[in-house]
Chains A and B, each alone.
Chain A
Amino acid sequence: MKTVIKTNGLSKTYTNTAVPVKALKNINLEFREGEFTAIVGPSGSGKTTFLNVIGGLDKPTEGSVAIDDVDISSMKESQLFDFRLNHIGFVFQAYNLIPVLTAMENTSFIMLLQKRPKKEMEERAREMLEQVGLSDKMNVRPSQLSGGQQQRVAVARALASKPDFVLADEPTANLDTESAFNLLDIMARLNKEENITLIFSTHDQRVIERARRVITLVDGEVSKDEQFERD
């Protein structure tokens, strides 16, 4: 399996605080195609910062991030916008759908920005909403969906454009147990079927138990990197 993400000596220090905070310290990791990885650790361990840096939302202070052998840490902002749009999918903790668009439009949104043909876009969005079990909610706006349904639309949106990998920042944090398991089932299935690399930050045990790789961060450093066999 090819390497999708490779970090090399990745460090991030926040200097806009009274005392500089070292959020990430010399992280060297590789993520391969189709992996289902959970980044775990206590609050403040650097999970979200790590996702932001490998997702191109934030810049490292030292080291580099290579995605498909392309170093994104030295890219200009405009290049990063294009890169993120075409290579990375995001799922956030608080659903983060566009409130004025329907489930179908939200799912198509990234593809629309990528200027995909209309027919292809609609077919893919419909397929993804069917995959996440929301084929009957296509024309419904987020405010009319439950939290779990909104997060499923967010997953459909992130995966619809077939990105190289999807970053999910605590996607189950706001969900009840049933919705969380439902979402995890969907994500695990899509990970296998679509062969999309999924990386979660979480301290939700339900997510950790599903992950085939669990990386533990403590104080911005990798303390454990474990592989598990899952069905």
Chain B
Amino acid sequence: MKILLILAWRNLWRKKRRTFITISSVLFATVLAITLMSMLSGMQEQMVSSIVRNTTGYLQIQDVMYHDEPSMDHALEYGDEVKKAVEQHRDYIEYTVPRIQGFSLAAKDMGSRGVMVKGIDPEMEDRMNGLSSNMVKGDMFGDGDEFAVIAEGLAGLLETEIGDSLVLLGQGFQGMTAVGTYRIGGIISFPVPEQNNTMVYLPLDQAQYFFAAPDRLTGLIIMVAEEEIVPELAEKLQEELDKEWYTVRTWEELMPDMLEAFKAREAQVAIFAWVLYIVVGFGIFGTIMTMLFERLREFGILLSIGLKRMQLAAICLIETILIGFAGVLAGVAAGFAIVYNLYINPVRLSGELGEVMLDMGIEPVISFSIAPGVFLYQGLVIFVLALIIGLYPVRKVFRLDMVSSSRK
């Protein structure tokens, strides 16, 4: 075995340029795969983060019935049990965002519209999605304020302005009628028409009073720094809470349609990845084929003088493993350098695309992921690909005609 390792190792050094070209082809394939997959993965992460921040958050603690019957009767009691559970896992939790929300009728003069009334903590909401940056008129309410902030589209539909009064009428907790009149203190704009034509924001305590649900929330949003811990945190929180009353739902459970859309995108990314692997695979294959045909005579001689086919195949395989390992290692290092640079200095998108992304609440940059998984997975895939391609010389060794090849 030692002699096979020596032969393989020295063969690599014998024709340094040939070895360098082959390692380079593996390196190039690894860098290409890492850069592209990091970009696709980064954009996916950015999209998930943006959508999650603008909608449900990563996790929500809800009343066990709320998801299936989202009515005020299924608002959860935001008491000691929930607060204690959150406190127990504070290390994983970045911050929490309380919300109470429900459909109501909004009326002004002779006009009325169905609206979504959302009671929020403006400071936490800002931290989650920068809500107040969308203000177009007036101010976002603060501590002790009692006015409403309504969406720009809704303001237009109701022909209302800052300083006008808005009457809200809806269904409160346990059959109570929710009624209230609120001064409009601010107008906020949303890129999505559905939001822009329906949103009414109230301070959390005002909304709880309106819905006759003091100390109740329709959902306590849990925000985390790393998306990966969401499933584990959901399980841990659920263990702390009474299953009969509370449920912890991830963003994937809260937005199944969105999850499907992401899965479809992941499938597209996978197809793209395989096209990429085929392209880089052919690059490596070409180099290995050239290397192989240069050495057929040498192989024929080695077999003639007594080396067994299995031993020669092992030499070829060891060479491929060494080349693949060196190429992948160098490729991961180079790929990391490129991706990290793009991660800290992201490419900003300008023009129409940038504006559309901004409108959607997504930062207009091409994001790159530096998740270790991207580097490990792509490195491993290219290494396995190089090994599979390296099986071709092995196959050739087993079919080689000693007499004719040693005369080439």
Contacts and interface: CB of A to CB of B under 8 A. Distances in A.
A100 interface: yes
A110 B402 contact: no
B391 interface: no
Interface string A103-139: 0000001101110000000000000000000000000
A99 B14 CA distance: 8
A92 B301 contact: yes
Interface in B243-286: none
Contacts of A114: 306
Interface stretch (B3-11, B23-31, B96-104, B130-138): B3-11
Contacts of A146: none
Contacts of B11: 100
B304 interface: yes
B318 to A, nearest CB: 13
Interface in B1-40: 3, 6-7, 10-11, 13-14
B307 interface: yes
B305 interface: yes
A101 interface: yes
A90 B10 contact: no
Nearest to A163: B306
Contact of B302 (A52, A58, A78, A98): A98
B308 interface: yes
Interface of B: 3, 6-7, 10-11, 13-14, 298, 301-309, 311, 402-403, 406
Interface of A: 52, 57-58, 78, 81, 84-85, 90, 92, 96, 98-101, 109-110, 112-114, 157
* The 7 nearest A-B residue pairs measured at CB: A100-B10, A85-B306, A96-B301, A113-B306, A100-B14, A81-B308, A58-B403
26 contacts: A57-B304, A57-B402, A57-B403, A81-B303, A81-B306, A81-B308, A84-B304, A85-B306, A90-B305, A92-B406, A96-B301, A96-B305, A98-B302, A99-B14, A100-B14, A101-B7, A101-B10, A109-B3, A109-B305, A109-B306, A110-B305, A112-B3, A113-B306, A113-B311, A114-B306, A157-B305
